[in-house]
Amino acid sequence: KDVQKEREPHVYLSKEEVKEKIQSYNSSVTDKLKMTLNANGVYTGFIKVQMELCRPITVQCSQSQGRCAPSNTETAFYLPDGCVNTLHISSTNTVREVIEALLKKFFVADNPAKFALYKRCHKEDQVYTCKLSDREHPLYLRLVAGPKTEMLSFVLREHETGEVMWEAFSIPELQNFLRILDKEENDQLQILRNRYAAYRGKLEEALRGVLKPG
């Protein structure tokens, strides 16, 4: 269930309170992704982000190196559904910075403004998905919720259709989207043609059996 973002006040914890929460958090961690408190009060840790992207992403690739890297060569493809990425961030990193870091890590050339970070949590036996504001701090939310992803997880999505900033797309990107849509349309049309051709064949076969003399 998607809901409007709740206005949750950020509780400013003392250094001692942060230390206690981190100790409690680390004692519950099962995947070795623990948090570390620095002398200046800033703490670092890991968050996992599930990718739920409906539209293709544009990636910068270098064919000469045989791997993706910053270059002038770009390709667009659909990211596999349910892909999860782990980021090492600090308590000062905002949602917007997390989105930018995630895209940079995988050489995604798309404008970060196209994407939004959501939190998914359990409440009263239901699962709620809420969009986070750009200024929120994901690691703080992770610390408060604890390490269990079933209690809180992060999801990267495109903005809803009504929110899409089309001006953030380049002309080649838009043209590529059109090519992908044309291919998907042709594929679906071919599937329908094959299905109705099979139905027609069965009907004609049945008619021949009914009309057969004797």
Q: What is the pLDDT of residue 86?
A: 93
Placement of tokens 């950020």 in the chain: 10
* pLDDT tier at 58, thresholds 50, 70, 90: confident
What was the pLDDT predicted at 67? 46
Q: How far apart are CA 69 and CA 105, in angstroms?
A: 10
17-46 pLDDT, tens digit each: 999 999 999 999 988 899 999 999 899 999
pLDDT for 65 equals 43
Pick left, alpha or beta for residue 104 (phi over 0 → left; psi -120 to 50 → alpha; otherwise beta): alpha
CB atoms within 10 A of CB 188: 10
**In the chain, % of residues over pLDDT 70:** 82
Place of tokens 């993706």: 68
User: Contacts for 19-28 with beta carbons within 8 Å, 24 or more apart?
Assistant: 21/143, 21/144, 22/143, 24/146, 25/143, 25/146, 25/147, 28/146, 28/147, 28/148
HSE-up of 154 (CA within 13 Å, CB side)? 27
For residue 166, what pLDDT band results from cuts at 50, 70 and 90?
low
Q: Is the pTM of this model over 0.75?
A: no
pLDDT surpasses 50 at 210: yes
Side-chain half-sphere of 143: how many Cα atoms within 13 Å? 26
Note the pLDDT of residue 167.
66
- The pLDDT of residue 69 is 45
Q: Which residue would you say has higher pLDDT here, 185 or 7?
A: 185
77 pLDDT band (50/70/90 cuts)? Answer: confident
Q: What is the CATH number of domain 15-60+71-161?
A: 3.10.20.90
Report CA-CA distances (Å) from 130 to 143, 154, 212. 18, 10, 64
Higher-scoring residue by pLDDT: 50, 211: 50
- For residue 75, which of 87, 92, 97, 58 has the smallest C-alpha distance? 58
pLDDT of residue 66: 46
| Cβ pair 155, 95 in contact under 8 A | no
Q: In whole angstroms, give the CA distance from residue 23 to residue 158.
A: 35
Comparing 207 with 137, which gets the higher pLDDT?
137
Query: 120 near 155, Cβ under 8 Å?
Result: yes
Q: What contacts 14, CB < 8 A, 6 or more positions away?
A: none
| Mean pLDDT, residues 85-105 | 93
Domain boundaries, the chain: 15-60+71-161, 167-211
Question: Is the pLDDT score of 173 beyond 80?
Answer: no
Instruction: Convert the pLDDT of each residue in 106-162 to its tens digit.
Output: 788 888 888 999 998 877 778 888 889 888 999 999 999 999 988 899 999 987 655
